[in-house]
Amino acid sequence: MTTDRPAPTPDTPSGAAGGTDTDARSLGRVTIATLIAAASGYLVLLLAARHLGAIGYGVFAVFWAAYGLVTGAQNGQLQETTRAVRATSDGTVRSRPILVNVGIGVGLAALVAATSPLWSGEVFTDERWLSVALLAVGVASFAVYAHLCGALSGMLSWSSFAVLLSVDALIRLAGAVIAVAAGLGTTAFLIITVIGSVSWCLLLLGSSAARRAVGVGGDVPPRRLTANTLTAMAAAAASAVLVMGFPVLINLTANLRGTPDADEARLIGALILAVTLTRAPLLVPLNSFQGVLISRFVDRRDRRIAALIAPLGIVGVIGGVGIVAAWAVGPWLLRSIFGADFDLDGYVVALLTAGATCLALLTVTGAAAIAAGAHRWYAAGWWVATLVAVGMLLIPADVEVRTCVALVVGPLVGLGVHVVGVLRRPAA
């Protein structure tokens, strides 16, 4: 499946010569894999909407969101595994991250199953117990997937990482195409949601680098690795709330002021769509490059601020170009593609793009905090950003002003927390 150069074994340094895969071609594969993953996700949603109809799609979309929220928190496993594996470049192995990650995955699956009587009836209106079972199995499998992503990133085995990312997305897309062609219903799409996470099974069969990544070592003892991973997951949960759950926050805070009238409801719908569209160009690829960023920052942990300048600058420049473009053509694109109901002023679309840029900058500083071992500062930055954003949504102003201010101010405050945490950590 892949032809990576030799990767480090569990008993050799992760950064050893010959165990890396860092040329431009390999990182280009990660970029292509990111685009495949993003396009596949959108196509699955499109196929589901057209095939299932509004009612069936509603059932599927709720489960898709629930699975995304939990696995969004599990991205903390990927982040800490990347840091722990990359930091063993001195050859010191104190733990096996696979054991910690599998333990967390099984524990999370058991928690989902045990607590499901308390919440599943409110969340899953149809296919309730199948949804609970699939969610439990899915998060357990995703723990292994997250481990492999993190281990391969820490080993700088980007070709295998790119294959894993692509296969995960393409399995779901292939399943959706088969379900539509065979006339299958909602149940099939629920299974499709979680089935991609078994891509690690296929990778283990075809990649020797992936098989070595299963047992690769970490730089801290198991207890500390577990604590670090859980802290990273807590931060990733805040990230999932701020990124994936922000449309829900807009609705909730708007409803606190009373039921919106027809004009405000239309405006809220347009804002939610615009928030989603303005984020995708920056956040989708950046999230896939988390392992790349963390590995970079670990390798440069003696000059952390200098290492931050380049990625922050790149994100800032791309975001700046996006802000100008959003102001100039954003409203026209929204009206032309989605209809006259999705009408927003140019400054609103530009500020939403600025908010997406601030979230991207927060993601970069978060990777630096993880790499520096400042896990509590990392979690604090994301939670502070989320709480400040919620607070900004409650200020006395129009909904578009509240939304734009929340998306800019919240992440910038969280970014400041991350930078303080990075500066306070002594260089290893």
User: What are the structural domain ranges in the chain?
Assistant: 24-228, 245-428
Q: Using CA atoms, how far apart are residues 282 and 101, in angstroms rounded to an integer?
A: 28
CB 212 within 8 A of CB 7: yes
Q: Which of 355, 333, 329 has its CA nearest to residue 342?
A: 333
Q: Using CA atoms, how far apart are residues 165 and 167, in angstroms rounded to an integer?
A: 6
Q: Which two tokens stand for residue 350?
A: 């530009």
Poorest-confidence range of 2-16, 240-254, 322-336, 357-371?
2-16
Q: Using CA atoms, how far apart are residues 102 and 137, in angstroms rounded to an integer?
A: 12
Q: Whole-number mean pLDDT of the chain?
A: 86
Residue 17, pLDDT above cutoff 60:
no
Residue 224, pLDDT above cutoff 90:
yes
Q: Please give the average per-residue pLDDT across 279-306, as a whole number.
A: 83
The predicted pLDDT at position 11 comes to 37
Q: Using CA atoms, how far apart are residues 147 and 166, in angstroms rounded to an integer?
A: 16
Q: Which two tokens stand for residue 96?
A: 């096996």
Report the percentage of the chain scoring pLDDT > 90. 50
CB 414 within 8 A of CB 381: yes
Residue 13, pLDDT above cutoff 50:
no
The phi and psi torsions of 258 (rounded to 5 degrees) equal 110, 165
**CA triple 89-162-285, angle to 5 deg:** 100
Q: Using CA atoms, how far apart are residues 107 and 112, in angstroms rounded to an integer?
A: 9
Report the percentage of the chain scoring pLDDT > 70. 92
Which band of pLDDT confidence, cut at 50, 70 and 90, is reported for residue 427? low
Rounded to the nearest 5 percent, the helix, strand and coil shares of the chain are: 80, 0, 20
Q: Using CA atoms, how far apart are residues 46 and 43, in angstroms rounded to an integer?
A: 5
Which band of pLDDT confidence, cut at 50, 70 and 90, is reported for residue 192? very high
Q: Using CA atoms, how far apart are residues 162 and 149, in angstroms rounded to an integer?
A: 9
Q: Using CA atoms, how far apart are residues 82 and 298, in angstroms rounded to an integer?
A: 9
The predicted pLDDT at position 269 comes to 80
* pTM across the whole model: 0.80
Buried b / exposed e along 82-121 (16+ C-beta atoms within 10 A):
bbbbbbbbeeebebbbbebbeebbeebbeebeeebeeebe
Which band of pLDDT confidence, cut at 50, 70 and 90, is reported for residue 360? very high
DSSP 342: S
**Quick check: helix, strand or coil at residue 397?**
coil
